[in-house]
Amino acid sequence: MADSKKSPKVQAKTTENDIRQIGSKLNFEGREAYNLLRTNLMFSVKRNDRNARVIGVTSSVHGEGKSLTTINLAYSLAESGQKVILVECDLRLPTLRKKIGLPKTTGLSNLLAGLNNENATLHKDVLVKRLDVVQAGDIPPNPSELLGSKQFGQIIDSLAENYDVVILDLPPVGEVSDALVASKVTDGIIVVVRHDYTSSSDLDYTLRQLQLVNAKIIGFVYNGAESKARHYKYGYKHGYGKPYSSGDKK
């Protein structure tokens, strides 16, 4: 697993700046960048034997903007007319609820533990029409086992019958093994990289681990770089040993 010295500890909280970077609040340049990412994604990933494309979004370490990227990609897809569901698969340190203003409810962990059903955990038309969300739910003692279970695959297959795109917000690869376990149900993985934050060793480790489980890496989002015009730049290319602590941030 990843060395605990690989990345700095940062506070896990949703800031006002986070909220300003979501959906309709995002500036013009940022929205255009996500629209470009959306277009590239739809051309890069073909439907297999399922109705929906199932896309995982991960990063090397927490703090790279992975969850904001996931939300805005899902938003852009739904805004273009796709029927989208965003599933929060970070069962250790969930952040989507606070970022997008959802009430605290049961979620994926409760589904996987057999304590609830899909209808009870589904939030419909979140932020924009055609975007549904399943939050992580109660923090379980065994996230990797739940994400590696047969039931998880069945849930994703069931969702894929009713949506055009299923987006999975996965934990960082360099922190826990959960994203690697969950990657087996995806058609492709996007890796988020943050300017002046992600180290080359972190990224090398992430790519090696994803390749070892035969995950299909379909591209990278280069997050956080600003040009002279101070707009977002997102690069798109083809191509946890330790648990989170309460003081971590993604």
Give the pLDDT of residue 17: 52
User: Which comes out higher in pLDDT, residue 237 or 226?
Assistant: 226
**E runs forming strands in 111-153:** 122-123, 131-134
* CA–CA gap between residue 111 and residue 135 (Å, rounded): 11
Mean pLDDT of 179-188: 94
Give the pLDDT of residue 23: 66
Contact predicate 34/72, CB 8 Å: yes
Give the pLDDT of residue 240: 39
User: Which comes out higher in pLDDT, residue 21 or 217?
Assistant: 217
Phi, psi torsion values for 84, nearest 5 degrees: -125, 140
Mean pLDDT of 14-25: 59
User: Which comes out higher in pLDDT, residue 15 or 189?
Assistant: 189
Edge-to-edge strand order for the sheet containing 188-194?
A: 122-123, 131-134, 84-88, 165-169, 53-59, 188-194, 217-223
Give the pLDDT of residue 172: 94
Most confident stretch, 46-55, 140-149, 222-231: 140-149
Nearest to 75 by CA among 167, 10, 190, 188: 167
Nearest to 55 by CA among 69, 64, 65: 69
Mean pLDDT of 104-121: 86
Residue 152 confidence (pLDDT) above 90: yes
* CA–CA gap between residue 90 and residue 243 (Å, rounded): 11
**Beta-ladder partners of 225:** 233
> Is the CA virtual torsion 19, 85, 27, 195 positive or negative?
positive
Confidence of residue 169 (pLDDT cuts 50, 70, 90): very high
Predicted TM-score (pTM) above 0.75: yes
Contact predicate 216/188, CB 8 Å: yes
Q: Across all residues in the chain, what is the average pLDDT?
A: 80
Mean pLDDT of 179-186: 94
Mean pLDDT of 98-104: 89
User: Which comes out higher in pLDDT, residue 225 or 215?
Assistant: 215
- Structure tokens, 100: 């997008």
Lowest mean pLDDT among 37-41, 46-50, 219-223: 46-50
- Domain annotation for the chain: domains and CATH numbers: 16-233 (3.40.50.300)
Confidence of residue 231 (pLDDT cuts 50, 70, 90): very low
User: Which comes out higher in pLDDT, residue 99 or 50?
Assistant: 99
Give the pLDDT of residue 36: 85
Give the pLDDT of residue 43: 78
